[in-house]
């Protein structure tokens, strides 16, 4: 079946094509319209004016695979705090001893001892363990914010990919409508004897080409829509998700507290420092206090009951301490390297994002100039074609240049907005619902 109706007599242009042509004549397709709009049949993600970018990020963070790591870290920190607050450095143990002379003098002497062994803290060990618990708690609290930033990055990239693809679909629909309108015009000119049959074939081929491009754009949009659903679990997008550029720091230094990734890495370093301090204090075996009672019974039946206390202090702990400190020191060195690498990555990402914004602005200005020139050329070419002074191939070539210029301008507008979002991501800015931002 032909991609557009062909009749043996002149007929009026279809109403839909006429409306599209009138809309296009009023001005170029705006990038703003592609931010939340789309053909509902091919992009069923509803646009929700009550849904904010921060709410979408919250949904994505709740589904992030690293969220369980945050919970595990909080449980581990709570366990360290409980151990640091304990009165003893370990679990107490019961002690029971019995002595008799049955295998020796056989006089009937017997002795019983019963007591409890209490492991004690090394000097400064309890304070060091509390410091470790505090460092672990701080590090665990930093994980959720880092997870939120990771989720924000995925949401930002997906939403702007959807916006760009929606714009491509809208432009492809417009180009198909133009191709159909041109095919109708060629058909009428053919019936009047102004054009050859090859012109009709060329116009039909162009319609098929535009329809193929439109279906390809819609297919890609469906893939992006599925990605958005997997990341957020939502069937809705915000009506708009543009961001203002964040005020950020100098190119050479970034305060650790201002970036979630750096804060998480720095707090991991502090946690390992606390572990190394603790390893330098405690040994494999802690000192212990034994409290108990003794009962001695002689052969003549006389008994002596007494209480006793003993202190057990292990020696030779220096080598064990140094071994433990060295083992933790390896982890600490690796954590410091990760922090330095993370800082360099953040600085690089910020620099690339700044350059991305500058390049996007320059290329957008150039794209607007090209669109102006292409619009003027298309207007002149249309008039020349209607007057019979321009061939169909020449008109198609001019219209394709105009479509490419308009498409490039619309895409550049969206890419500038995406560059701002990427800058905010590099700066560690997390969109979050206002009602929960203080929590």
Q: Where are the beta strands (DSSP E) in 79-153?
A: 93-100, 110-119
Residue 437 is predicted with a pLDDT of 54
What pLDDT, on the 0 to 100 scale, is given for residue 250? 53
Do the domain assignments include residue 74?
Answer: yes
Separation between Cα atoms, residue 196 and residue 339, nearest integer Å:
71
Residue 9 inside a domain? The answer is: no
For residue 338, the domain's CATH number is 1.20.1600.10
How would you label 332-352 residue by residue, b for 16+ Cβ within 10 Å and e otherwise? beebbeebeebbeebbebbee
Give the residue numbers spanning the domain of 230. Answer: 15-436
Residue 6 lies in a domain: no
Position 8 in a domain: no
Q: Is residue 5 part of a domain?
A: no
**Predicted local confidence at residue 435, as pLDDT:** 66
116 inside domain: yes
Which two structure tokens, joined as six digits, stand for 178? 């133009």
Q: What is the pLDDT of residue 1?
A: 38
Residue 3 lies in a domain: no
Instruction: For residue 142, give the nearest of 64, 259, 275, 276 by alpha carbon.
Output: 259
Query: Within a domain: residue 193?
Result: yes
If DSSP codes are grouped into helix, strand and coil, which group holds residue 28?
coil
Question: Over the chain (439 residues), what is each successive 10-residue block's mean pLDDT?
Answer: 37 36 36 42 75 93 85 86 85 87 73 89 85 90 92 96 94 90 83 78 89 94 94 92 78 70 93 89 79 81 83 75 83 93 92 94 95 92 83 83 90 94 93 68
Q: How many domains are there within the chain?
A: 1
């Amino acid at each position: 079946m032909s991609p557009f109706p062909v009749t043996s007599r002149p007929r009026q242009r279809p109403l839909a094509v006429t409306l599209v042509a009138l809309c296009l004549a009023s001005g170029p397709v705006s990038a703003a319209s592609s931010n939340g709009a789309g053909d509902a049949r091919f992009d069923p993600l509803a646009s929700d004016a009550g849904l904010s970018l921060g709410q979408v990020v919250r949904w994505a963070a709740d589904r992030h695979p690293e969220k369980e790591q945050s919970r595990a870290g909080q449980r581990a920190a709570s366990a360290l705090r409980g151990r640091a607050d304990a009165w003893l450095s370990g679990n107490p143990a019961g002690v029971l001893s019995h002595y008799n002379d049955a295998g020796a003098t056989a006089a009937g002497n017997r002795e019983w001892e019963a007591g409890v062994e209490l492991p004690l803290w090394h000097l400064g060990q309890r304070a060091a363990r509390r410091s470790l618990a505090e460092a672990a708690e701080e590090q665990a609290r930093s994980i959720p914010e880092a997870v939120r930033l990771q989720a924000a990055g995925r949401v930002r990239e997906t939403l702007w990919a959807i916006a760009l693809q929606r714009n491509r679909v809208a432009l492809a629909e417009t180009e198909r409508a133009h191709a159909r309108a041109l095919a109708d015009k060629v058909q009428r000119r053919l019936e009047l004897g102004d054009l050859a049959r090859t012109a009709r074939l060329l116009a039909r081929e162009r319609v098929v080409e535009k329809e193929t491009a439109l279906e390809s754009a819609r297919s890609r949009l469906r893939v992006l829509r599925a990605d958005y659903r997997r990341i957020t679990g939502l069937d809705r997008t915000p009506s708009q998700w543009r961001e203002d550029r964040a005020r950020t720091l100098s190119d050479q230094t970034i305060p650790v507290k201002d970036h979630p990734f750096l804060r998480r890495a720095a707090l991991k370093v502090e946690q390992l420092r606390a572990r190394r301090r603790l390893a330098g204090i405690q040994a494999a075996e802690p000192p212990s206090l034994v409290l108990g009672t003794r009962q001695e019974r002689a052969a003549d039946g006389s008994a002596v009951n007494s209480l006793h206390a003993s202190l057990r202090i292990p020696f030779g702990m220096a080598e064990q301490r140094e071994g433990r400190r060295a083992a933790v020191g390896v982890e600490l060195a690796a954590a410091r390297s990760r922090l330095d690498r993370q800082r360099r990555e953040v600085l690089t990402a910020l620099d690339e994002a700044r350059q991305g914004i500058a390049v996007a602005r320059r290329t957008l200005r150039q794209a607007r100039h090209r669109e102006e020139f292409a619009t003027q050329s298309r207007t002149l070419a249309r008039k020349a074609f209607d007057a019979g002074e321009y061939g169909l191939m020449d008109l198609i070539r001019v219209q394709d240049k105009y479509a490419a210029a308009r498409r490039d301008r619309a895409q550049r507008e969206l890419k500038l907005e995406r560059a701002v979002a990427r800058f905010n991501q590099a700066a560690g800015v997390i969109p979050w619902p206002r009602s929960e931002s203080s929590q």
